[in-house]
DNA sequence: CTGAAAGCGCTTACAG
DNA sequence: CTGAAAGCGCTTACAG
């Protein structure tokens, strides 16, 4: 593969490289006939511009980077897809970087000159945050509430989600409610729990501390830990409802309860959180608090482009949640 | 954000840019004390090399591109994750490009000078393939059986998967078997169907043409089309088993059957294909033909790096399948 | 309308 | 061991 460059095209078309550049970039200064020759030559040679050369000059790449530690599972997949669609709509390229190594993240962010980046990390550390802030590159954080001059964020109202989940259980007449945590200490988990607790305090239901268990946002782990709970608890002490920190753990929770020989929602009701498609594939269909993932992706891209185009300062937007009724409550 | 460049570091350290470059890239030619000064200066200035400048010279980027039309859903997520892990292990960066626009794909492939690319497209057209081949960039295709000097591919044995699925149904005593297609004309779908049919021909079971329906690899669409089939077919004419082209459509199929008031596997057995985690979340657990996605990702990366390092020619590897017994047969 | 030249940020022979 | 210079492929004032 002998790379064909702008020089080759110039030679082939019998013009200078400046003219090739102008012709190819539709700078309307070049003679129509000349332009035709250049375009022909480029096509004949199958010329593809080297983006490195271009970007080195331009300093605008029309690309957005998305940084995540994983793209496995329903949730990240949906987020990435929403972002990718929004980018396409706005004429930006999206490139997704899957890394856990924070050093690489910042090298990559600063070194690739993407116009801006969208970041989602469960455990965003301050070092990364400070570096990013310092370099002043436009960024929007997902699932976080922070902003500064060049930083925006979009989160959904996790605290509100906790409240909605609790309220739905309370309204269904549930009295003793447990919580299947996600990743302890993560922002989402904390917020959901806070909202959940606050809502319960305003009701005649109680939060059962003995049913505060950790499911790590995963189906299998939640399954195991709920099974363990049921085994180790006298059956007259069972909670009559669980709030699970996300949908996959809600499904693990439901499966554990049913495999143990109890019924959902009759014996124990379960409400999840996120509203991924998966909730509709299983039986019973999971009642869940819908996280508007598509909106989140779209909003993130809009906010980022505003930052890139320097219209206004960074801002933090919080998206509302909605209960999605299934059969598990 | 005033970008700090190699020049700034040079000035700060009181040396030339050549020396900075050598020091930073561990070329062991520079005096330890000088190197120390340079590293200090770089740190003080928070210098991050501009990859565009670097790549323009180097022509090796130590990054691999992954091109896909979507990363939604369980399948693509797992593939991407497997690839990303394999890349990390081998010291390559991975960047994922989500696009449907084939023109952009090839511009991006040729323009970014990634060292090599991995491509998965359901409907890979010849134009794209020919361009890629012509440019001679190292690439490996997923879910395809093609190879040439600089092209490898890794697929799993879809034909074999069809055979295994059929055999499992036949061995369970099923006599009249239907097929829930995926995307008609897609490589995977065709191969699975071929294997399925061939195996049935060697048995006393029959393939019921009236139950040849199209589920588009999706849960909802499969659900609808199976429901329609059940409604429009006299109940003494029902098939007693379905092979679904992937797991999500198997789940749609199972849900449709159960919602219609029939039992799985008693009345109608269902076998899926792929072995995504999801199959274990639902009831009944889906019996499926396991596609070794992790292996596929790892193999793809290995093959690609071989191509990049120019050890040998491209090759096509096909991974074996395995029946994973659930409760749906 | 077209071209020669400078420069984007880097690396790498080549002298010294 | 260190530095001046050329060059990677592009764009963009600036002359003409």
Count of domains observed in chain B? 3
Which residues in chain A are contacts of B49 at CB distance < 8 A? 107, 111
Handedness of CA A104, A107, A112, A114 (dihedral sign): positive
Which CATH number does the domain housing residue A263 bear?
A: 3.40.50.2300
Residues B151 and B139 sit within 8 Å (Cβ to Cβ): yes
Asked if strand C contacts A31 at the CB level, meaning under 7 A, the answer is yes
B270 occurs within a structural domain: yes
| pLDDT attached to residue B273 | 95
Whether A265 contacts A329, CB under 8 Å? yes
**Residue A205, in any domain of the structure:** yes
Do residues B213 and B225 make contact, with C-beta atoms less than 8 angstroms apart?
Answer: yes
Q: What residue numbers bound the domain in which B116 lies? A: 53-156+295-321
Are A34 and A101 found together in one domain? no
DSSP state of A179: E
Please answer whether residues B140 and B153 qualify as being in contact, where contact means their C-beta atoms are separated by less than 8 angstroms. Answer: yes
Size of interface A-B (CB pairs under 8 A): 144
Asked whether residue A275 falls in the same domain as residue A225, the answer is: yes
Residues of chain A neighbouring B110 (CB-CB closer than 8 A): 48
A173 class by beta-carbon count within 10 Å (0-12 exposed, 13-18 middle, 19+ buried): exposed
pLDDT tens digit string along A91-141?
Answer: 888 888 887 777 777 777 777 668 889 999 877 777 778 877 877 788 999
The mean pLDDT value for A200-220 works out to 92
pLDDT of residue B135: 76
Residue A326 inside a domain? The answer is: no
Q: Is B91 found in the same domain as B57?
A: yes
- Cα dihedral sign, B19-B22-B23-B27: negative
Q: Classify residue B328: in a domain, yes or no.
A: no
Question: pTM of the prediction?
Answer: 0.83
Bridge partners of residue A94, in order along the sequence: A64
Question: Tens of pLDDT along chain B (329 residues)?
Answer: 567 888 888 888 888 888 988 888 887 777 888 888 888 888 888 888 888 888 877 777 788 889 888 887 678 888 898 998 898 888 888 888 887 777 777 777 777 668 889 999 877 777 778 877 877 788 999 988 888 888 999 998 999 999 999 999 999 999 999 999 999 888 889 999 999 999 999 999 999 999 889 999 999 999 999 999 999 999 899 999 999 999 999 999 999 999 999 999 999 999 999 998 889 889 899 999 999 988 999 999 999 999 988 888 999 999 999 999 999 98
Using the CA of A58, give the nucleotide whose C1' is nearest.
D11
> A274-295, pLDDT tens digit by residue?
998 889 889 899 999 999 988 9
Q: Using CA atoms of A235, A237, A240, A245 in order, give the dihedral in degrees to the nearest 10.
A: -110
Beta-bridge partner residues of A241: A177, A269
The b/e string for B251-271 (b: 16+ C-beta within 10 A; e otherwise) is bbbbbbbbeeeeebbebbbbb
Contacts of B170 (CB under 8 A, 6+ apart): B199, B200, B203, B204, B205
Interface test with A, best of B281, B294, B310 (most A CBs within 10 A): B281
* Per-residue model confidence as pLDDT tens digits over A11-29: 888 888 889 888 888 877 7
Cβ contact B34 with chain D strand, < 7 A: yes
Bridge-based pairing of strands B322-324 and B287-290 is antiparallel
Same domain flag for A42 and A135: no
Read off φ and ψ for residue A150, nearest 5 degrees.
Answer: -110, 15
B125 and B177 together in one domain? no
Q: Are residues B181 and B163 in the same domain?
A: yes
Q: How far apart are CA A78 and CA A84, in angstroms?
A: 10
Instruction: Evaluate whether B86 touches B297 at the Cβ level (below 8 Å).
Output: yes
CATH code where residue B31 lies: 1.10.260.40
One domain, residues A70 and A134: yes
DSSP annotation of B144 reads -
Same structural domain, B264 and B188: yes
Distance CA A302, CA A312 (A): 12
Beta-carbon contacts of A62 under 8 Å, excluding residues fewer than 6 positions away, are A91, A92, A93, A115
Instruction: Identify whether residues B129 and B175 lie together within a single domain.
Output: no
**Is A62 within 7 A of strand D by CB distance?**
no
């Amino acid at each position: 593969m002998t790379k064909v460059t702008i020089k080759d095209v110039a030679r082939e078309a019998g013009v200078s490289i400046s003219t090739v550049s102008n012709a190819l970039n539709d700078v309307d200064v070049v003679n129509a006939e000349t332009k035709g020759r250049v375009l022909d030559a480029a096509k004949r040679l199958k010329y593809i511009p080297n983006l490195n050369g271009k970007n080195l000059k331009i300093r605008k790449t029309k690309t957005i980077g998305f940084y995540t530690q994983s793209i496995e599972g329903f949730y990240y997949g949906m987020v990435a897809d929403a972002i990718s669609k929004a980018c396409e709509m706005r004429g930006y390229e999206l490139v997704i970087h899957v890394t856990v190594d924070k050093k690489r993240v910042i090298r990559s962010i600063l070194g690739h000159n993407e116009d801006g980046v969208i970041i989602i990390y469960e455990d965003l550390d301050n070092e990364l945050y400070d570096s990013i802030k310092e370099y002043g590159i436009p960024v929007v954080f997902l699932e976080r509430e922070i902003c500064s001059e060049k930083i925006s964020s979009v989160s959904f109202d996790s605290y509100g989600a906790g409240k909605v989940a609790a309220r739905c259980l309370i309204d269904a007449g549930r009295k003793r409610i447990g919580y299947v945590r996600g990743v302890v200490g993560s922002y989402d988990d904390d917020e959901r729990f806070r909202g959940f607790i606050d809502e319960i305090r305003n009701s005649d239901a109680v939060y059962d501390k003995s049913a505060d268990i950790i499911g790590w946002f995963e189906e299998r782990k939640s399954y195991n830990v709920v099974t363990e709970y049921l085994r180790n608890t006298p059956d007259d002490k069972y909670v009559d409802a669980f709030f699970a920190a996300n949908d996959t753990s809600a499904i693990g929770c439901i499966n554990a309860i049913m495999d143990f020989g109890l019924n959902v929602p009759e014996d124990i009701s379960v409400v999840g959180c996120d509203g991924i498609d998966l909730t509709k594939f299983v039986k019973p269909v999971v009642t869940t608090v819908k996280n508007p993932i598509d909106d989140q992706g779209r909003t993130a891209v809009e906010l980022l482009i505003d930052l890139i185009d320097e219209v206004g300062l960074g801002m933090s937007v919080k998206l509302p949640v909605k209960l999605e009724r299934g059969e598990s409550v």
